[in-house]
């Protein structure tokens, strides 16, 4: 498997997992999505907004998207806005990744943020981005359990990869 095939698969998986979460969370009461629950980010919408914020940041840094929006410090989160924004950005990332070559994915890119400075292959930054979303979706599952949510989606990459439509 080439790095392009792997990164294209991971970007499609990231979009699929976010779609599953939005579908699942769309069936939960808005007040429960807004409820403060101790975690890295205090609740479902806050955590989902963080995933979106990071996707926006990486899209701007890696693909030089000038339409990326800053989601840091946003208060008064609304479920529909967060759901739509996350799915839109995840779809854009999946499309951009699908257009990259192995050579482009292997090219080292210098990134400087308030949190770190590094020069790594583009594929490693993308792998971090997709892993980051997976990590925080896991937190949302735990928050959902504490709020009594049922029928959580199964978004493991392995199960995504085994689906006949994704082979």
Higher pLDDT, 95 or 69: 95
CA contacts within 13 A on the Cβ side of 117:
2
- What is the distance between the alpha carbons of residues 10 and 13, in angstroms, rounded to a whole number? 5
8: exposed, middle or buried (Cβ count in 10 Å: 0-12, 13-18, 19+): middle
Give the CATH number, domain containing residue 68.
1.20.120.450
**Does pLDDT of 167 surpass 80?**
no
**Does pLDDT of 30 surpass 90?**
yes
pLDDT number for residue 121: 98
Name the residue range of residue 10's domain.
Answer: 3-166
Q: Across residues 94-122, what is the average pLDDT?
A: 95
**Does pLDDT of 73 surpass 80?**
no
Three-state secondary structure call for residue 155: coil
**Does pLDDT of 3 surpass 80?**
yes
38: which DSSP letter?
A: S
| Number of domains forming the structure of the chain | 1
Phi/psi of residue 41, each to 5°?
Answer: -125, 135
**Does pLDDT of 76 surpass 90?**
no
**Does pLDDT of 18 surpass 90?**
yes
pLDDT band at 68 (very low <50, low <70, confident <90, very high): confident
- Distances from the Cα of 84 to the Cαs of 26, 79, 113, 125, in angstroms? 11, 8, 26, 24
pLDDT band at 152 (very low <50, low <70, confident <90, very high): very high
Q: Give the global pTM.
A: 0.94
């Amino acid at each position: 498997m080439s790095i392009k095939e792997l990164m294209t698969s991971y970007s499609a998986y990231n979009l699929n997992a976010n779609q599953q979460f939005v579908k699942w969370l769309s069936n939960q009461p808005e007040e429960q999505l807004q409820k403060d629950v101790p975690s890295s980010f205090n609740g479902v919408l806050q955590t989902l907004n963080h995933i979106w914020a990071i996707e926006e940041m990486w899209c701007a840094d890696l693909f030089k998207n000038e339409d990326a929006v800053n989601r840091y410090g946003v208060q008064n989160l609304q479920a529909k806005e967060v759901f739509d924004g996350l799915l839109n950005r995840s779809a854009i990332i999946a499309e951009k990744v699908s257009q990259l070559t192995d050579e482009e994915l292997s090219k080292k890119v210098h990134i400087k943020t308030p949190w770190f400075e590094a020069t790594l292959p583009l594929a490693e930054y993308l792998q971090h981005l997709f892993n980051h979303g997976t990590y925080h979706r896991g937190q949302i599952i735990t928050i959902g359990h504490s709020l009594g949510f049922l029928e959580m989606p199964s978004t493991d990459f392995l199960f995504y990869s085994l689906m006949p439509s994704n082979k």
